[in-house]
Amino acid sequence: MTGRLIGIGLGPGDPELLTLKAVRLMRAAPVIAYPLAEGGESLARAIAAPHLPGGQDEIAIPLCMSADRAPGQGAYDRAAPRIAAALEAGRDVAVLCEGDPLFYGSFLQLLARLGPRHPVEIVPGVSSVMAAAARARHPLSARADRFAVLPATLPDGALRAAIEAAESVAILKLGRHFARVKALIEDMGLTGRATYAERVGQPGERVLPLGETGGAAPYFALILIYRGAEPAILASLAAGDAR
């Protein structure tokens, strides 16, 4: 009997934004696995920590972003056999995933390597996009709106076209692209409809109108833009009361 590979969506950072199912399956698993940043910290484990029962075996997956040509690929090539060994011993492995496991998450790396040979269960999680919108009271979408999630790595032309083709946009992975993206949004006349968010639900959270931000942003920061056509919502937002 092989164990199950369980992808646990932990939500954006607040340990209270785990689902009941995530808490239950995570606590019941004899083994947990999680990515470890270069400095030795694991945000995923920190989010999960208040709920861990103690006594679980732990598989840390050290990420070394610079050493691998495709970032993370090598780390998961090395981690997959360690997790497979636990699964083959009949032990469930709960993989701790920030946000949602399948939405820009590295769980895909493990799913591709281990999914074909082991039973899989995935617990969806609250995305940082939804959490940022909730904190800012920023509408994500209504009725027939198109909603686009875009990486800030896109060049200006592609980013502009994608923003113009949707009523609502989330731009992720800002980091060193922040000043360029901010200037593009300003050039498009959309700064007044844009919200900036970093570290939502974590210590150091910052959520504010894009126009009030400075010139730098971390990698895990995002911008939301809403220019949908819901009149009452826009009126409320324009009044500045709904933030």
Q: Which amino acid is at 72?
A: G
* End-to-end Cα spacing for the chain: 52
| DSSP state for residue 2 in the 8-state scheme | P
**Closer CB to its own copies, 66 or 214, in the complex:** 66
Residue with tokens 């009949």: 90
Smallest separation (angstroms) from its own copies to the CB of 214? 25
Smallest separation (angstroms) from its own copies to the CB of 218? 18
In the list 61, 133, 194, 210, the residue contacting its own copies (rule: CB under 8 A) is 133
CA atoms within 13 A on the CB side of 161: 5
Question: Are the beta carbons of 74 and 106 closer than 8 angstroms?
Answer: no
Question: Are the beta carbons of 126 and 32 closer than 8 angstroms?
Answer: no
In the list 43, 92, 101, 190, the residue contacting its own copies (rule: CB under 8 A) is 101
Smallest separation (angstroms) from its own copies to the CB of 149? 4
Q: Is 151 in the site for its own copies (CB under 8 A)?
A: yes
CA atoms within 13 A on the CB side of 156: 11
In the list 26, 75, 130, 225, the residue contacting its own copies (rule: CB under 8 A) is 130
**Closer CB to its own copies, 40 or 70, in the complex:** 70
Sign of the C-alpha dihedral computed for residues 205, 207, 212 and 215 taken in this order:
positive
Q: Is 213 in the site for its own copies (CB under 8 A)?
A: no
Residue with tokens 């919200």: 195
Smallest separation (angstroms) from its own copies to the CB of 183? 20
Residue with tokens 């895909």: 108
The residue ranges that bind its own copies (CB under 8 A) are 7, 9, 11-12, 14-21, 23-24, 73, 100-105, 108-109, 111-113, 115-117, 120, 122-127, 130-131, 133-135, 137-151, 153-154, 161-162, 165-166, 230, 232-233, 235-236, 239, 241-242
